[in-house]
Amino acid sequence: MASLKEKIGYGLGDTSSSMFWKIFSYYLPIFYSDVFELSLAQTATLMFVTRIWDTVSDPMMGVIADRTQTRWGKYRPYLLWFAAPFAIAGVLLFTTPDLDQNGKLIWAYFTYILMMTVYTGINVPYASMLGVMTNDSDEKTVFSSFRMFFAYGGSFIALFAWEPLCDYFKEATGSLTDGWQSAMIVIACMCLVLFLTSFALTREHIKVSPTGLGNDFKSLLSNLPWWILTLASVGTNLFNTVRGSSVAYYFKYYIGENVHIDLGFTAFLFFAGLFLAVGEVCNMIGVVTAVPISKRIGKKSTFILSAIALIVFSVLFFYVPCTNGGFITMLLLQIIISIFTGIISPLVWSMYADVADYARWKDNANCTGLVFSSGSFAQKLGGAVAGSAVLMIFDAFGLVPNAVEQADSAILGMKLTMSWIPAGIAASMLIVLLAYPLTKKKMTEITNSLKTNTVTE
């Protein structure tokens, strides 16, 4: 059994990744449209087109990582090698150069592609480590839960601090663009330290030899659980990013700035960072509950029940009024929705580890990195499609960046991206998951079979 130190160390890796990822997902669209001053259409196209490269880079990184051999292991050394490039690329992404509109657009494409490439270089191997740190299916869920608990902790810190940091540095530098860049420098330094700490505290215990590349791809393409899980994983990221990337717009143009929730005995500022940060804390609650629930009823059943809850509570969000009582209800719905998305998040990565074990059991294919690269690809594809789709919806419904007054149609578009559209995505996840074949009973059979043929250290 792996040590507590290793589980914490593994979790710290996604603390770093998630701090960046949530800021990219939730604040990069409004940075491009309202700070960097690209049009909504340009931003939507940028976020979608750059995903074409990920269709190549993610599986390529998985193949490379599967065939890496060092004294530190196969996947772990990438945490050391890519930690500094990861931090630097993040700062460049939020840098606004003094260029004309065409020059700024080229810079945006270059830095966004660079960031996603570096993200692939560190995150695919990091995710793949789950397959070689333990060979027990339930313990993989524990590792995954540590990962997601620490990830949401990092997200909470980043999202809650982001707007205050931007405001502080804006005041200090006298520049909106410098304020955003300086805020990212602070976050990037934290991420660098976290990845290096994760490298120092973790170890790879399962030794697997690489198999033929052709056999790996053949196994992957015939792996039904992989196809189903990847579709469901894209859905989870679509759900999270559609809601998350809408929040900054929703608060700026619908709820308004300097709005307070009055509880009678006290009042507090109700702003996007608070709404998102509360969600991250509740995600952590969901992560903690995922382990006992999935051990009892299985990962598939837990995933399905959570998807049903997301459908119901997302629909309810549409009908909440923009009043003091409505603000309280919005926060309560955010709490409930975030608990269920928190339950789902560790299940996805634990189920990818099960899919990798299924490939070893069925086809004798040691393609852990290749399998987990699809998880990274699903994350980025879901994030990109959702981010660009939200901007296209806002554009189609008539939202005008930085306008004081927004049309009723623009308000409707924002309400839909916070409610009915995520509900539809959750419904599609539910339908897909019904066909997932790796039940609790099946994984017990696979795990017992693999244990007799596994080399550990």
431 contacts: CB under 8 Å, gap ≥ 6: none
- 403, part of any domain: yes
Amino acid letter for position 335: I
Which pLDDT tens digit goes with each residue over 250-265?
Answer: 999 999 888 999 998 8
pTM: 0.76
Mean pLDDT of 350-364: 86
In Å, how far from its chain's centre is CA 188?
A: 17
Mean pLDDT of 12-39: 90
pLDDT of residue 453: 59
- Record the tokens describing residue 320, joined without a space: 């909440």
Whole-number average pLDDT of the chain = 89
- 181, part of any domain: yes
pLDDT of residue 117: 93
| Residues 140, 291: Cα–Cα separation, whole Å | 10
| Residues 453, 124: Cα–Cα separation, whole Å | 25
Q: Which of 428, 429, 282 is nearest to 348 (CA)?
A: 429
Residue 454 — pLDDT band, cuts 50, 70, 90? low
How many structural domains does the chain have? 1
- 263, part of any domain: yes
**CATH value at residue 351:** 1.20.1250.20
- 453, part of any domain: no
Check whether 456 has a pLDDT greater than 70: no
Mean pLDDT of 229-244: 91
Which pLDDT tens digit goes with each residue over 279-315?
Answer: 989 998 998 899 899 988 889 999 999 999 999 999 9
- 22, part of any domain: yes
| 260 φ, ψ (degrees, to nearest 5) | -115, 150
Check whether 457 has a pLDDT greater than 70: no
pLDDT of residue 215: 78
- 158, part of any domain: yes
pLDDT of residue 455: 45
Check whether 210 has a pLDDT greater than 60: yes
Range of the domain at 122: 4-443
| Residues 451, 143: Cα–Cα separation, whole Å | 18
Which pLDDT tens digit goes with each residue over 382-410?
Answer: 777 887 889 899 999 999 988 888 999 99
412 contacts: CB under 8 Å, gap ≥ 6: 397
Q: By mean pLDDT, which of 21-30, 105-114, 307-316, 330-339 is the weakest?
A: 21-30
Which pLDDT tens digit goes with each residue over 143-177?
Answer: 988 988 899 889 889 988 998 999 999 999 999 99
- 457, part of any domain: no
pLDDT of residue 1: 64
Residue count of the chain: 457
CA distances from 431 to 305, 420, 427, 435 (A): 12, 17, 6, 8
Q: Which of 239, 223, 218, 233 is nearest to 127 (CA)?
A: 233
- 191, part of any domain: yes
Bridge partners for 268 per DSSP = 261
Quick check: 162 and 23 in contact, CB under 8 A?
A: yes
